[in-house]
Amino acid sequence: MADEWSSSLDVHLDWTPGLGRKGLAKAVRQAIRDGRWRPGSVVPSTRALAHDLGVARGTVTRVYSDLAAEGYLQTSQGAPTRVATAGAQPLTQPRPIASREPAMRWNLMAGRPDAALFPRDIWLASTKRVLQHTHNETFGYGEPRGSSVLRATLSAYLGRSRGVLADPARIVICSGFAHAMTILGNALQSVGIQEMAFEDPSFNRFRDLAGATGQKIVGVPVDGNGMRISELTSPAVVVTPAHQSPIGVTMSPDRRATLTQTGAVIVEDDYDGEFRYDRQQVGALQALAPERVIYAGTASKTLAPSLRLGWLVLPRSLVDPVIAALATSGAQPSLLDQLTLADMISTGAYDRHVRRCRIEYRSRRDRLAAALPQHLIPQGISAGLHLMVPLSEAAEAQVPTVARRHSLAVATVSPMSMGEKRHGLVVGYGASSKNAFGGALDALLNVLRELQD
């Protein structure tokens, strides 16, 4: 019985029983000409196709032999019938999706971890454990706010590692910070907030996502002590207090305290809080005011952006609006991945992985900082996966052309500015593989040598 259906394939044919044998031949011919039945591919067995269409097997056999005679099909004794290579029209090639980055040999783009550091073995071991022990419910839709197992695990982990006060009931799992921007833009609208302030400069993408929800987006300048809180007037604000993106400074303790007293809803983007190299970690702002601060974390730097896994720790009053916005966003990270991450954290494998990455990124940062020409002083603290090198306006303007000549992908600051333009390079030392980092660094130094003030 199994053999009988072994060559059964689901196929679509524009054919109805009223069209008869000729109509069936025409439909198969058309499928081949359109390229829907690909040259060289096996066609359904006569028995299977006859069954699926509800016609006599002999009808399909005759159609196949007619089409073989016409050169559309290839039949041979003892082998399955295939579409002949002649007769089919070539499919139009899908247009390549425009890449946001030019294809350069060396990559120092900010915000990317080294994909080669992804702990494949550990992820595999955790996935295996999850699949061996999980209930069948895991294969259903799951809880809208995210796996209770991951939320409980994150509650303990965030308290221990970042000082976050995180009751599992106030944690929501989302598809990274980008998704959080859409969810929070909508959730804040639902509680009457229609304006969100962002640090100036900051990554445009997150501002655009929040703006697309109808929020008015306002910039507040950043200086050496972080966002200038005295200039903040919006009812909600997105900040990167532990390591400003892209400038790299830490928000000063008095500004942190003042910010929590402004009355604004604060979104704390703790995107690289795990990577601190030259001083004690700066604890999360959230601990100062858990009813005012939305803490946002992500697996994009410690593991991989492709996981699309992030988490929010919410003030009590925002839990329901955020869950409602999450539900209408239509997106949710895979429950299996959530459980895998929970397993990694609870077995200690995640901490060990983060420590290994910290050592690697720290050594790259030290190499980079030591190699920079003396007159270029990186701004900010030793942390994260990027550093900012201030440049003059004239020098920054030459970067795209000179970097292209050296096949180097690297970002500049002024496109991230909203008001007064800041100028410089944002050098990401995570994006390269370990082996390519030396070459990328040489390319950067060559670029810097050629820039003229």
Ligand X SMILES: Cc1ncc(COP(=O)(O)O)c(C=O)c1O
Distance CA 433, CA 91 (A): 36
Where helices occur in 372-433 by DSSP H, the ranges are 393-405
Closest CB 175 distance from ligand X, rounded Å: 7
Residue whose CB is less far from ligand X, 24 or 267 = 267
Binding mask 262-291 for ligand X (x = CB under 6 A): -------x-x--------------------
Residue 272: exposure state from Cβ atoms within 10 A (0-12, 13-18, ≥19):
buried
Binding mask 147-186 for ligand X (x = CB under 6 A): -----------------------------xxx--------
Q: Is 298 in the site for ligand X (CB under 6 A)?
A: yes
CB atoms within 10 A of CB 216: 11
* Phi and psi at residue 409, to the nearest 5°: -95, 115
Residue whose CB is less far from ligand X, 64 or 206 = 206
Q: 80, 283, 305, 438: which one contacts ligand X (CB under 6 A)?
A: 305
Binding mask 189-228 for ligand X (x = CB under 6 A): --------------x-------------------------
Residue whose CB is less far from ligand X, 353 or 406 = 353
Residue whose CB is less far from ligand X, 84 or 173 = 173
Q: 147, 240, 250, 340: which one contacts ligand X (CB under 6 A)?
A: 240
Q: Is 118 in the site for ligand X (CB under 6 A)?
A: no
Closest CB 345 distance from ligand X, rounded Å: 17
* Phi and psi at residue 107, to the nearest 5°: -125, 110
Residue whose CB is less far from ligand X, 178 or 220 = 178
Where helices occur in 194-334 by DSSP H, the ranges are 204-211, 253-260, 319-329
Cα three-residue angle 51-56-62, rounded to 5 degrees: 110
Distance CA 417, CA 427 (A): 16
What residues pair up with 268 in beta bridges, in sequence order? Answer: 239, 295
N- to C-terminal Cα distance for the chain? 79
Binding mask 306-345 for ligand X (x = CB under 6 A): ----x-----------------------------------
Of 321, 192, 188, the C-alpha closest to 266 is: 188
- What does the binding site for ligand X look like in residue numbers (CB under 6 A)? 111, 176-178, 203, 240, 245, 269, 271, 298, 300, 305, 310
